[in-house]
Chain A
C-alpha cells in the first residue's frame, strides 16, 4: 500500500504514534517535576525518590505539622495522595471517596466523588477494605473501586467521564490496587487470591474505557498472551502450554495469581513490570505441580500485553508467599558494567536483582537473615534447577503434608515484606525496605471450592523470630551485591511505603502511628511525630508556594490490623522468651487522616 507514497505513509504513522504516546509524554514530563507527585510511586521506575531537598538531614528535626485532613473513613488507609499542579487528590478505603483539595485556596475541597457500591463487596474482601490510591492522565483521575469498577473522573470537576467493570465480586473478584496510567492505557489488576480468583492484568483505553487487552496469570498461552517461542524464562523460550502443564486438570481456572501490586514501566523497553500472587488454595497438597505462572515476575509489552519474559520465584508455593510486591527499576553497576536492573523484595524473604531487558537473574539473597524456608536460589546456569529456591524439608508444608503443623517457618505468610513499597535513592545507591520480621506455624488441610467463598485451606499462627522481640525492621539494602547496609528494629511490622529524597533523608511510617525521618546514609533517626492512627500509607512529598511538604495517610488496618490489632500469638509450645511485646491496640486506634509536614 505504502510503496508509492512513502512520505505520506510515514507522516501518517508518525501522527498515529504521537497520538498514542501523548498521555505518556505528558506524564513523563510531569513526573520529572519533583514539585508534583503525579503517579502512585512518584515515577514510572517505582523508586519513590524525590529530588526535592529543602528538607535535609540537617534541618528535618525541625519539621512541623502544616495541616491535616480527615477522610471520614475508619478503615485501613494504604497508598498516598497525588499532587498535580495546585490540586491534591486524596482517596479512602471503602466506600472509596475521592477528594480534590485546592492547595492554592487553603486546601479547600474543590470536589468530592463517592461511588455507590453494594456493601456486600466487603464480605469478599480478604483482610480489610483498603484502596491503594489513584492515578492521573489525560486530564482525568482514575479510581479502581472495591467492586472492580474502574472510573475516570474529570480532574477539574470530579464528573464521571467513563466507567468500566473489570471483575465480578460475586466470584470473589475485588479491587484494592491503584490503577496505573501508561501511554494511552489504564492498567488494572485484580484481588481475590483467597477466593480462587484467576488473576489478570487488563488495559483500558484512557479516552473511552474500551478494553484493549487482558493477560491472565495462568491458563492457555492465548489467555496469558504468551508466545511459546518469543516469551522467555531465564533466557529460554517457555514452550507451549507452559502454565496448564504445571497444574492438575483444570485447577488453573481457580488458580489465584492475583495482581494487586504497584506496577512499573520502562519507556525505552516499552515494558510494564508487576508480580503475580499465590496459587489457590493455601493447601499445597491439593494442587500438585509448579502452578505457573503464580508467584512470578512479569514483563509485558504495554501496547499488546504480549509477555516478553517471566521468572517464577516460588514454584509450587507452600506458604502463601504472594509475588505481588513492586518491581523497582534502577540502573546499577554490577560486575563492572552498568546493568538495566529490576529490584524486587519478595514476600518469600529474598531480594532479587534481574536484568529487566532479558529477565536474567543476577542476585537472589535474603534481606532478612532469619529467613529459613530456603537455603538459597540455584544460580548455576547449567543446573537443571537453575533459578529455583532450594526448599528446606523441615519447613516444607508440602513435604510435611496435610494435617501436620510445620513450625517456626520464617517469614510468615504476610512475608518479609508485603505490599508496602520500598524506595531507592540514586544518591546512596541503597534500597530502603519496610519489613515484617515475623515467623509462623502453618498447617494445611483439605478445602472445597465454592464460588465467592473463601478458599484458604491452612491455619497459621504468627510470632516474632525465635530470640527476637521486634516484629519489623527498616532495612537499607545493596541490590548490587544482595547485602544489608543497615537495619533498624521496629516493635511492629513496618507497613508503610518509604520515601527517599535528595535532601539525604528517608521517611517511613510505623504501625504505632509515627512518621519517622532517618539519615539516608546511616539510618540515624532524625525526627519522629505521632500521627492520630497507625500508618500503613506511603509517604510522599511535593512542593507548593516555594515550600517542600511531606505527607502521609494514617489509618491502621489492612492485614496489619488483623494480625496485630490483637497482638500476635504467643505460642504455648515452648518457643522461648517472645514476650515483652504488647498488642498494637495499646498504642493506636482507628482513624483516617492525612498529615502534612513542612519546615517552619
Chain B
C-alpha cells in the first residue's frame, strides 16, 4: 500500500513538472464539501475550514505540525521564510494545489550567480508526502491570514478516516 502511494506521488510529480508555476494562486478557499472532516473547494482541491472561535480543522493542525518538522528548517516558522528560503505564506498566494504537489514531490533548483537555492524532492519521503494535503491547507490558510502565526489554539479531533489513511500511507508502527 505504502509503495503504491509513493508511486502515485511520483507520477503526480511528473504530471505537474518541476519548477513550473502558473501564478494564478489557489483560488477561492471556501469549502463546498466536507468528507470525514476534510474540506474541499469548488475545484475539488483540499482546503481549510476555520470556525468562528478560531478552531481549525484537523488537517490544518496536522499541516502545522508536519510543516514545523520537515519544512521550517529552511522556510522558517509559520511559513515566514528564512535568510535562504522563500516565505511560503507568500508563495501560496501565487501557486496552486497542482503546482504545490509537483514542487514538493519533485523539488526545485534556483541557481544564479547571486544564489544557489536547492529544494529537495520529497516524493519518496512518507513523512512529507503522506501529509502533503495537510501542509498545503495549512500554508494556504497562512497565505490568507486565516490562521495566526504559532500553534493553533484549538483544533478539531482527529477523524477516524485520517488515522486509517495515515496508517495505510506510513505503514505499520514499529
Residues of A participating in the B interface, judged by any CB pair closer than 8 Å:
74-76, 94-95, 119-120, 122-124, 126-129, 194, 282, 286, 405, 441, 443, 445-448, 450, 453-462, 556-557, 561-563, 565-573, 583, 590
Contacts and interface: CB of A to CB of B under 8 A. Distances in A.
A491 to B, nearest CB: 17
Given A119-B109, A123-B119, 12 more contacts: A127-B74, A129-B116, A448-B127, A450-B124, A455-B127, A459-B69, A461-B151, A562-B74, A565-B83, A566-B78, A571-B150, A572-B148
Given A443-B65, A562-B82, A562-B83, A119 B148 contact: no
A454 B83 contact: no
A453 B111 contact: no
A573 B78 contact: no
A123 B120 contact: yes
B149 A456 contact: no
A123 B80 contact: no
Interface in B29-68: 64-68
B126 A454 contact: no
What are the 5 tightest A-B residue pairs by CB atom distance, in nearest-first order? A561-B83, A566-B80, A123-B120, A459-B68, A122-B118
A566 B82 contact: yes
Interface stretch (B11-19, B20-28, B95-103, B166-174): B166-174
7 contacts: A119-B111, A122-B116, A128-B84, A453-B127, A562-B73, A562-B82, A565-B76
Contact of B84 (A95, A286, A561, A567): A561
B125 A566 contact: no
A391 to B, nearest CB: 23
A120 B69 contact: no
Given A122-B118, A447-B127, A448-B171, A456 B70 contact: yes
A563 to B, nearest CB: 7
Given A453-B122, A563-B77, A459 B115 contact: no
Nearest to A558: B83
Interface residues of B, number: 45
A459 B77 CA distance: 10
B87 interface: yes
Contact of B73 (A453, A454, A583): A454
B7 interface: no
Contact of A446 (B148, B150, B170): B170
A539 to B, nearest CB: 21
A94 to B, nearest CB: 6
Contacts of A456: 69-70, 73, 127
Interface string B123-140: 011111000000000000
Contacts of A76: 83-84
Contacts of B67: 459
B8 interface: no
B138 to A, nearest CB: 11
Contacts of B124: 450, 453
Contacts of A565: 76, 80-83
A485 B19 CA distance: 54
Contact of A74 (B70, B76, B114, B151): B114
Given A572-B151, A573-B151, A459 B84 contact: no
Nearest to A569: B150
Contacts of A455: 127
A150 B149 CA distance: 42
A95 B116 CA distance: 9
Nearest to B109: A119
B117 interface: yes
A150 to B, nearest CB: 21
A450 B80 contact: no
A69 to B, nearest CB: 18
B126 A448 contact: yes
B90 to A, nearest CB: 11
A562 B153 contact: no
Contacts of A572: 148-151, 153
Given A119-B116, A123-B118, A557-B83, A454 B70 contact: yes
B93 interface: no
Contacts of A562: 72-74, 76-77, 82-83
